Every structure is written in C-alpha cells, then in structure tokens.
Amino acid sequence: MRCRWTGRIRGLVLAVAGLLAAEAARAGAPAPGHPALLITAAEVPALRQAQGQYPLFDKSYRALQKTADKALSSPIAVPVPKDPAGGYTHEQHTRNYYAMQAAGICFQMTKDGKYARFVRDMLLEYSKLIPGLKNHPEAKSSSPGRLFHQALNDANWLVYSAQGYDAVYDTLTPAERKQIEDGAFRPLCSYFTQDLKSWFDLVHNHGVWAAAGVGMVGYAMHDQKLINLAVHGSSGNDKSGFLAQLNGLFSPDGYYTEGPYYSRYALSPFYMFAQAIDNNQPELHIFEYRGSILKKALNSSLQLTNNDGRYYPLNDALKEKDWTTQELIGAVSIAAQHYGVDKTLLGLAQQQGKVMICPGGLAVAKAVQEAGKNLLPYQRQSVLYTDGPTGTEGGLAVLRAGAQDAQTSLIFKYTSHGLSHGHYDKLGIVLYDQGREVLQDYGAVRFLNVEAKEGGRYLPETKTWGSQTIAHNTLVVDEASDFGGKESVAEQNAGQAWFADIRNAKAQVVSAKANTAYPGVQLQRTVALVLDSISGKPLVLDVFRVQATAPHQYDLPWYYQGQLISTSFKYDSFATSRQTVGLKNGYQHLWREAVSQPVRTPGVATLTWLNGPQFYSLSTATDTATHLVLARVGATDPNFNLRPEPALIVREKAQNQVFVSVIEGHGEFNPTSEVASGSRSNVARVTVLADSPEATVVEVQLRRGGTYRLAIANQDAAATKAHQATVAGQPLRWQGPYQLRHTGR
C-alpha cells in the first residue's frame, strides 16, 4: 500500500510541476530544466565520464567533494548573525554557501542523495532564519546586509546558494521549493531591489554581485521578473543591471575602472552570471556582447599582474592577492568554454591547481594534460589601456623590459578616479624589478577578515592616508590632495593621454596630463623606460612639468622599498624626536625624520637603497630652492595600522617647475658570499636644458655610458608636427611628440 501511495504522490508531484512549468512558460520565464546555471543537465554526463582521465579535473573535483563531505559530517549550523568579517557567524555563513555549491555539484556528479538532502536541509534552515532578520548588528555602511555586515556578502551568498539549489531542484517537492524560495531567496532579493534599490542599481562591483545574485536566483526559480531586474535594471532600461555593468565598468579594451585588484573580484560574478544567462537566454549572445568585452576584461586583468602573479596594488588594493585567487579560476574555465582554450593560460591553470567543474574547466584540464611539460609561459608585455566606457577617461600604461622571469615593469596611472575605491593619485607611477617592488603604491589599509582590526573592514587610514595624493609617487600641490579629496569632483575629471610610443622595447615613452586636479595648475608627466646599452639594466627617466597661475609649494614623494644605503646630500636627522611633515591630507601620517637644506648651486641629489640582491638609486635635479625631506609612514597612528615605510620628498616653492629624476638598478649584493659590488649610482648629472610653452628638454649624463637627451612637445603631440627648442644657444629640432637620443659610448 505504501509503495502504491508513494507512486501516486510522486505522480501528483510531477503533474503539479508540469502545471507550474506551463504557467512559467506563459509568463515568459525560461523553460524549466535543472541544473541550468553554470552547467546544464545535458553537460553532466560528459563531466561524470571525464573522471579518472584528467588529473587537474580530478583534483578539482576532489577538492569540492572534500568541502562538501566536511560539511556533511557536521551538524547544520545557521547561526543568528552577529559578528563582523572574520567572526564566527560571518565565517559560518560563508562556509555554508560554499558547502551548498560544492554539495550541489557532487550530487550532479554522483547522484548520491545525501548531497541533495544536505542542500535541502540547509536551505530550509535559512528559510526559517532570513524572514526575521533586520539589518546586521555590525553594519556600518549605507548598504547593510542581513546575514553579513554588508549587503555585498549577502549577494555572494545568493550567487553560491542559488547554484546549490539549482543542482538539487528536481529532488525537491513543490512545498519544499516554495518554502525555500519564499523564505530564503525572495526576502533577500526583495531587500536588494526595493529597500536597497539605489545600491542595487550602482554601476560598481557591488552592483555586479547584486545583479548576479538576483539573476541566478531568478533563473533557478524560473522567475522572469527577477531575471529582468538583474539583466536590465530596476527601471528596465539598461541604465542599471548586468548590461549596464558590462557597459559602464570596462573600457573598450577591457580595463576595469576600479583597478586591477577589483577586476579579479568582479570577474567572478561577471563570468558566472554570464554563463547562467547563456544557458537560459542564449539569444542574448552575452559572451559576444560589446565585442566580447568579457574576454578582453580577463586578458587585461591578467596583464595587470607582476612577474609573481600579484596584482598591481592600484586604488584600494591588498598586495597579497595574486592570479591564483578563486575568482579567476572560474573565469579562466568559463572563458575557455566560450572563447576556446588559450594555450598561454595553461601554465596559470596548473599553478592555480584547480578548474571549475564545467565543460570549460574540463577543456582546460584536458589541454594541460596534453601539453605535458610543454606548457607555454604567459607573456606579459607592454600595454596601454584606456579608461571609461568609451575609452576617453584617461588610461593606464604598463611599460615592461627584460626577460619574462626577470622583467622591469613601470606602471603609469592617468585613469579616471575609480569610483568609491579610487585614489587621488593622478599621474602616479609604480616600479617593479624582477618581481620586487622598487617604488611602491601603498594600496589599501585593511586586514581582510581579521576581526580584531575593525572587523576586517577597510581601516580609517585608507581614507586619511592610503587614498590621499601624498601617499603616492606623484605631485602634491600645497599639501592638498587632487580635487580637494572629494570623490564627487574626482569622478568628473580624468587624466589625459598625451602621447605614447611603446613600439621599441629598448626605449618606451609615455606622456599624460592632468590639468584639473588643482585649480590654476597644469600637470604633465612623461616617463621613459630605457634599456641602457652599457649596464644592460633599465633606466627610468621621469619628467614632471608643472605650470601655474600663481606660486605654490610642490612636493614630489618617492616611496622606495628597501634599506637606505647612502645619499649624495647632507641632512639633519631628528634622532631623538620627530614631528609630522604636515597636519592633514595624509601629511599627518608622515614622520619627518631628516631634512636637507637648499644647495648653493644647482646639481643632482642621489639616494641609494638596497632591495634584495640589488642596489637602486634615485637621482633628481636640484636647484637653490630645493628642499629634501626624509620621511617615514606611521605618524598619528595609535593602533599601528600603517606599515612604517620610508620616503624621499622633493620639495620646491615656485610658480612653474620641472622635476627631472632618474631611477636605476645597479650592482649586486650577496650576503651569503659576503660580496657587494657596484653600490654607487652611475648618474653624474641631471639637468633641465630648456623649458618653454612649446617644449621641454632634459639631459641625463652617466658616469659610464654616455648621455641621454629627451625632448618633449608640450602643445602639439601630432606625429607630423615639427618642434624646436633652444639649448645652449643652439636650435634643437625634431618631428613628433618627443625625441630621445643617446650619445657617447
């Protein structure tokens, strides 16, 4: 009798499911079918059959199964939220959504009901918890979460939990689905799209995660209204939502406006939701959207890593993040599914040690096995990126020289502000050499998920120090930050690309302007990365030109990484007491450790430091008004949140000024064999030969290796334009935006 009734009930369930499917179809929702988010039911058999054939695929699946089995071995824990990032409840809810995603995949791969029951039971518990939740007790932003201290993490929960639900959907009764959907998913989706509507509509990485969460839940539940909100925005006109994110956050060549660090974080929901869209609404051709913008975005994100795979820490960024991060594993796998396997990324896939369990991940794992030991290395090259949706909001230049495993990389930033994660660092530069950070960008002040440090949030010093102009290797006017340190103003003003020539690997030159960062002040910076023919090492030539309508104080800081070795200038040090360099705009966080008074005659000031096995020197032109300040980060920091790192500040008080500097690597230090050589700079003289509204000419004389002369056009950067400057009473003529000449040996 029990079997007969069970069969009838099951038949009734299927009949009801059929009616629901028909109703959904009439409402315009996608046809039912599960799984349908990152993998489809039709793709599952091939994934199962691949087990035991490709080591990287097997390793990836075993890692997921380990996550799921560990969760299954413990009682389900769905605690009432109370902790900030890093606390127990925060971490438990994070573990839960990863476990549900993993268990869902394991169910599809094994059809073992224990995994489906786990996802069901977990979501049923959440369906009891979520409806009664108010704003998180540790919320401190305008977008508070319910399960977590910020809504962003709740969006993460939706993205991953939806995948678990989608994978076990067909095992659930209509009553269980209704309870889960009405209790767990709909309240959060409603909260996002109604209570936090302005946040949901943000074109920002938060908005990407929010759209992906709501949209993936929509596809899993066959709710066309949620799908439309996610794809087309709350007004349905593509001014917000997923398409708006694709339109607004990337430049035409794929640069992500919030910076490299946030590009890898945003790529995860971009790629996952795009896969869900493609599985359910292939007519949108989402992977071809904007000229395959997602492919360009992944490529640009990977290019903006250093030799060791770490992301360049521009804007709010943590220096520890590299390209093995979980977010990129999925992006690489999904990209392979739609754009083909990129053989130059197979080494990265092997280094990541995982692929996503999907057709693209399987293709990558297969290609890695077929390549064997002949994996092609990833090629980092000199690149120029525009910024802004139409590519008209400045940009970013990365100049590279040398062998792939020992490159020198010069990063020159003249982008737009970067939304809420942007820094006030127009025309800033960062320098890496052989994987080492030589001239640094501080990045963000944050101890991610370390509860003892403000609940793992960004610390106050991110705003008072990390984002301020003085914290970067760029010019500061009158101890104030660009645009008065106001985000709303900065967002309306971007840098301007002036000219660029990166065709010759031995001499690459880029110039950019920022004429609105300070009222009445025009800034132009030109950088050149030159392979010196004598030393074989790269030289960085830096020319920072300032024109103003009135006199100002100009500070050009240099944040060098390493141990001070020597200086060519004398200074007075404050060995027993210190004062801050200034009182606000980041200056309050700098200790003034030593000062050098102006010299009697113009010349060159050189500072040499040791970084690993290499000596480096910064040589800068000085005049009778130049002040040099040796400073260190860490003042006005009672909680010791800041790293105590050194800096040299070159200070001038003038109306118009040209700062000329050279950075060089030289010599060698081997502490094991106790050998040091070439510890002194090779720069003998740095001079401004001419400066006029039309052109600037500078010269760098080396002790060994001759002289470099760089002429820069200031008014017309056309390739066909002829220019002239007077140097030592003689005319210097050239055509095009610049001329770089090397004379002597």
**Using an 8 Å Cβ cutoff, are 658 and 675 in contact?**
no
Tokens of 610: 């040791």
**SS3 (DSSP) at 368:** helix
Q: State the burial class of residue 616 (Cβ atoms within 10 Å of its Cβ: 0-12, 13-18, 19+).
A: buried
Region class of 476: left (phi > 0), else alpha (psi between -120 and 50), else beta: beta
Tokens of 563: 């141990």
Cα-to-chain-centroid distance, residue 214? 24
Amino acid at 361: G
Please give the span between the terminal C-alpha atoms of the chain, in angstroms, as a whole number.
100
The DSSP result for 182-243, as a single string, is IIIIHHHHHIIIIITHHHHT-SSHHHHHHHHHHHHHHHHHT-HHHHHHHHH-TTSSSSSSHH
Query: Residues 174, 175, 176, CA angle at the centre, nearest 5°?
Result: 90
Q: Residue 123: which H helix or E strand, with range?
A: helix 113-129
How many whole angstroms separate alpha carbon 709 and alpha carbon 740? 6
Region class of 38: left (phi > 0), else alpha (psi between -120 and 50), else beta: alpha
* Farthest CA pair distance, the chain: 110
Task: Map tokens 């609940």 to a residue.
Answer: 455
**Using an 8 Å Cβ cutoff, are 590 and 468 in contact?**
no
How many whole angstroms separate alpha carbon 562 and alpha carbon 573? 19
DSSP 251: -
Active-site residue, from 256, 262, 378, 554 = 262
Provide the 10 A C-beta neighbour count for residue 21: 15
**SS3 (DSSP) at 607:** strand
**Using an 8 Å Cβ cutoff, are 316 and 443 in contact?**
yes
Q: How many H helices and E strands in the chain?
A: 19, 28
Task: Map tokens 């290609």 to a residue.
Answer: 367
How many whole angstroms separate alpha carbon 712 and alpha carbon 696? 5
The DSSP result for 702-741, as a single string, is ESSS-EEEEEEESS---TT-EEEEEETTEEEEEESSEEEE
Q: What is the dihedral of CA 467, 472, 475, 481, to 10 degrees?
A: 10
Active-site residue, from 136, 204, 206, 421 = 421
Preceding omega of 35 cis (within 30 degrees of 0):
yes
Tokens of 503: 């065709």
**Does residue 338 have an active-site annotation?**
no
Provide the 10 A C-beta neighbour count for residue 485: 18
Amino acid at 218: G
**SS3 (DSSP) at 631:** strand
How many whole angstroms separate alpha carbon 558 and alpha carbon 618? 9
How many whole angstroms separate alpha carbon 259 and alpha carbon 200? 21
**Four-residue CA torsion sign, 22, 24, 30, 33:** negative
**Does residue 262 have an active-site annotation?**
yes
**Using an 8 Å Cβ cutoff, are 145 and 154 in contact?**
yes
List the catalytic residues: 262, 421
